[in-house]
Amino acid sequence: MFDDTFAGVHHLDFFDWALLAPYFLLLVILSFYGVHRYEMIRRYFRHKKEIPREAAVHFETLPRVTIQLPLYNERYVVERLIEETAKMDYPKHLLQIQVLDDSTDDTHPFTVALVREYQAAGVPIEYRHRTNRHGYKAGALQEGMQTATGELIAIFDADFLPPRDFLMRTVHFFTDPKVGVVQTRWSYLNRHYNLLTEVEAMLLDGHFVIEHGARFGSGLFFNFNGTAGILRASMIEDAGGWQHDTLTEDSDLSYRAQLKGWRFVYVPSVDCPSELPVDTYGFQVQQSRWAKGLTQVAIKLLPTILRSKLPLRVKAEAFFHLTPNISYPLMLIVSALMLPVMIVRFYMGWFQMLTIDMPLIVASFCSIWAFYLLAQHELHPKSWKRAVVLMPTLMAAGVALTVINTKAVIEAMLGIQTSFARTPKYAIGDGSIKIANTQYRRRSGWLPYAELALGTYFVFMIAFAIETWNFAAIPFLLLFVGGYYWAGFTTLYQEYQGRLRWKRERELALEKTAA
């Protein structure tokens, strides 16, 4: 038991300050990003009425459009992607569909045959296959530009289902010659597939509703999301083309283009259905790729942005937009310091804990609740209250990303290049169909064990909080226990299930061969 005789009269020594100073410095930095979320909310509500639902002026003669469909080993979703794209309501003589396939598995021959069927039916579709993945998605898009005939380039990733009226609702914004990109909102085919997909949808809704709405409405820079959008071909060329020195080629191009003076338009009234990752590690891999890529863009372009003649508010927002993932390594350090800091502060009394900690907690964590709940209220006014129940899970999911995103950010800062890690798609909707094939699953390695170790560390912190009667800290600590244990245990369980399926499939194959 800890003796509280000296609580409130403890004098800090050098060791105490060596713990407390970095701890509070990191909390202050994290709180700045929390305050920024409040600023996003303020800007959204101030400008949301200025966000257009449709173009004010229409073309008299429609422009030529090229639709690019970048693929890499997408056997389970490519058929529905091409089927829906072929239904696009746009004059065929003004349309070109490019299937840009880097696949190394049976997606390649399957898609070749599929494209030939649509060509025979009169669909203006062509197939391009690369035998290498040079530049990954950015490289495929750039090579596609060599034969693209469209003035405008629409891009859809393999897991998206473009609405039939997508082009007719977006191309007319390009009557303004300064418009370089029109970005639409993502929606989700499998939002209610499991708890993870519900949380993922809430996270992305916050980005598409509040962030995009606030930035576009305020005249600030925002990014093309790499899919479900349409770009002016001359803008891509003017901005330097698709470059593959970052893992988020879309954000890289977006900032280079806006630095050149191109205007981006956000149209949330047009939504494009997509598929969310359904397994924990797939979600983590996707998020870490985005975290590393955005950090790479920050390192690459922030010096240019800050030296430019842009207004200070644009520079400040670009900084906050490109650097939020630094919060992951900072949070990991805060996590490591939390137990020794709790021990030191036990002897310092409660008053200064309330006066110092509470403002930081409100700035850092309450802003998360406000940000994501308001996004749900705006998007789903009749059913948003379910989001209140899911908020602890959303925060735990954020904790579950801490380790893998910290690794991603450190790699970006050290200049360590890694391959483009695709997110497996399985053509899963909201029904009860479960994944039956493990071909595209990635192995998580050491990650779940590190997460379980961190979860256990926070269990010890909860035990200490109970012993010292610090019950107010327990709900906060439980989020960390839940987040790390959820990530670690679900990843190991899903990989175990995958191994069992692979073993059964192999046994069945051997039985058929023997027969």
d(CA 339, CA 321) in angstroms, rounded, equals 31
Contacts 24+ apart (CB under 8 A), 126-130: 126/96, 126/97, 126/98, 126/99, 127/99, 127/101, 128/98, 128/99, 128/100, 128/101, 129/101, 129/102, 129/103, 130/100, 130/101, 130/102
d(CA 503, CA 483) in angstroms, rounded, equals 30
For residue 434, the model assigns a pLDDT of: 44
Does position 495 have pLDDT exceeding 90, yes or no?
no
**In whole angstroms, how far apart are CA 368 and each of 327, 364, 509?**
13, 7, 50
Contact in structure between 414 and 474 (CB atoms under 8 Å): no
d(CA 25, CA 48) in angstroms, rounded, equals 35
- The pLDDT-based confidence of 468 (bands split at 50, 70, 90) is confident
d(CA 294, CA 447) in angstroms, rounded, equals 22
Contact in structure between 340 and 15 (CB atoms under 8 Å): no
Does position 327 have pLDDT exceeding 90, yes or no?
yes
- Say what percent of the chain tops pLDDT 90: 73
d(CA 466, CA 462) in angstroms, rounded, equals 6
Does position 355 have pLDDT exceeding 60, yes or no?
no
Structure tokens at 443: 């192995």
For residue 505, the model assigns a pLDDT of: 62
β-pairing, 179-188 vs 263-274, is: parallel
d(CA 280, CA 496) in angstroms, rounded, equals 13
Length of the chain: 515
Q: What is the mean pLDDT of residues 150-166?
A: 97
Structure tokens at 116: 């030939």
Among 10-19, 322-331, 374-383, the minimum mean pLDDT is found in 10-19
- The pLDDT-based confidence of 494 (bands split at 50, 70, 90) is confident
For residue 432, the model assigns a pLDDT of: 43
Which candidate in 102, 205, 252, 279 is catalytic?
102
Burial degree of 274 (CB within 10 A; 0-12, 13-18, 19+): buried
SS3 label, residue 176:
coil
Bridge partners of 367, per DSSP, are none
Q: Which residue did the predictor score with more confidence, 490 or 497?
A: 490
For residue 411, the model assigns a pLDDT of: 97
d(CA 42, CA 199) in angstroms, rounded, equals 24
Which candidate in 101, 157, 250, 279 is catalytic?
250
Q: Give 194-206 pLDDT, tens digit per residue.
A: 999 999 999 999 9
> Is the model's pTM score more than 0.75?
yes
Q: In 10 A of CB 332, how many CB atoms?
A: 18
Whole-number mean pLDDT of the chain?
A: 89
Contact in structure between 267 and 170 (CB atoms under 8 Å): yes
165 is annotated as an active-site residue: no
- The pLDDT-based confidence of 425 (bands split at 50, 70, 90) is confident
Q: What is the mean pLDDT of residues 78-106?
A: 96
DSSP designation for 187: E
250 is annotated as an active-site residue: yes
Q: Which residue did the predictor score with more confidence, 500 or 233?
A: 233
DSSP 444-474: -TTHHHHHHHHHHHHHHHHHHHHHTT-GGGH
Q: Give 426-448 pLDDT, tens digit per residue.
A: 777 655 444 444 455 567 789 99
Does position 385 have pLDDT exceeding 70, yes or no?
yes
DSSP designation for 119: H
Does position 107 have pLDDT exceeding 50, yes or no?
yes
d(CA 280, CA 434) in angstroms, rounded, equals 14
For residue 357, the model assigns a pLDDT of: 61
Indicate if the alpha-carbon torsion angle 263, 49, 38, 324 is positive or negative.
Answer: negative
Which residue is associated with the tokens 């101030």? 46
Q: What is the mean pLDDT of residues 156-182?
A: 97
For residue 475, the model assigns a pLDDT of: 85
> How many CA atoms lie less than 13 Å away from 416 in the CB half-sphere?
10
- The pLDDT-based confidence of 233 (bands split at 50, 70, 90) is very high
Which residue is associated with the tokens 């192995």? 443
SS3 label, residue 272:
strand
For residue 7, the model assigns a pLDDT of: 46
Contact in structure between 268 and 213 (CB atoms under 8 Å): yes
